[in-house]
Amino acid sequence: MFVDQVKISLKAGDGGNGITAYRREKYVPFGGPAGGDGGKGASVVFEVDEGLRTLLDFRYQRHFKASKGGNGQSSNMHGKNAEDLVLKVPPGTIIKNVETDEVLADLVEDGQRAVVAKGGRGGRGNSRFATPRNPAPDFSEKGEPGEELDVSLELKLLADVGLVGFPSVGKSTLLSIVSKAKPKIGAYHFTTIKPNLGVVSTPDQRSFVMADLPGLIEGASDGVGLGHQFLRHVERTKVIVHMIDMSGSEGREPIEDYKVINQELAAYEQRLEDRPQIVVANKMDLPESQD
């Protein structure tokens, strides 16, 4: 199952509490302060794993809570820092704050990391508060709470070439021919309901990634059909391959198809107007294409 957008809740770990303690030495019944600091709470960290292609794992678990730091101990021993909670995501993942819509991270490179929810600082033990006027303070500090927020994860596929066009114009067939990808192919609309990726090898030993995107229709930029759900995958492509059904078998004029798809791309993201585009005329062997 291809999942490219989810909302999840994050809670970083609270800092451990500092403690109030005193030295206990022979012949010194009430020594100076010896309370250690609390440990740092765990942060929630996102890391890119190039082996992942979808956000499916986050569909079944939506709440993530990191560990609390250890409490301070006597003899000025600090509490243990909690180990960060690392969540793996596929390359091309954008993380946004749900409340403010602020982009917190744009993760594209394998191994790239981003701290999205910071763990709380550990509280100070009473040793930290000793002064000449109060050499044996009887208080300590609680750990700070870890950050808590809701975030949205949005996957924008990292493909060099994006295949766009109306439904059933032959995008999936082209991908299956030029690469080893095996997308679902059928003679009905929206056979492709999720993006498919294929690696295309060239005679000079180079390669590039091609994405077959679900068919677009008029109004896609406003969310009609599969609309926004898949238009975002075009954003990162370097080249757009625009396939057109020249036979007019669906009752549409090829030139109108060309105009409509480009209007939808520009309405969704104006920068797509300047993206290099290759137009592929398909179904030229059908009798209707000769007119």
Secondary structure string (H, E, C) spanning 108-164: CCCCCEEEEECCCCCCCCHHHHCCCCCCCCCCCCCCCCCCEEEEEEEECCCCCEEEE
Average pLDDT estimate for 98-112:
95
One domain for residues 134 and 24 = yes
One domain for residues 73 and 183 = no
Q: What confidence category does residue 189 fall into, taking pLDDT thresholds of 50, 70 and 90?
A: very low
One domain for residues 96 and 185 = no
Tokens of 126: 């009473």
Q: Which of 184, 173, 170, 181 shows the shortest CA–CA distance to 250?
A: 170
Strand-by-strand arrangement of the 277-282 sheet: 196-201, 207-212, 161-164, 239-245, 277-282
Q: What confidence category does residue 240 fall into, taking pLDDT thresholds of 50, 70 and 90?
A: very high
| CA distance readout (Å), 114 to 50, 67, 87, 108, 111 | 15, 18, 10, 11, 10
| Domain edge (last residue) among 138, 155, 172 | 155
pTM above 0.85, yes or no: no
What is the domain extent for residue 80? 1-155
Range name among 61-70, 135-144, 232-241 with the lowest pLDDT average: 232-241
Q: Pick the residue with more confidence: 155 or 228? A: 155
One domain for residues 58 and 185 = no
One domain for residues 110 and 224 = no
Q: Pick the residue with more confidence: 155 or 227? A: 155
Among 24-38, 42-56, 154-168, the range of highest mean pLDDT: 42-56
Instruction: Look at residue 286 in the predicted model and tell me its pLDDT.
Output: 65
One domain for residues 198 and 85 = no
Question: What is the domain count for the chain?
Answer: 2
Average pLDDT, the chain: 85
One domain for residues 5 and 107 = yes
One domain for residues 126 and 73 = yes
Average pLDDT estimate for 82-111:
95
Average pLDDT estimate for 100-104:
96
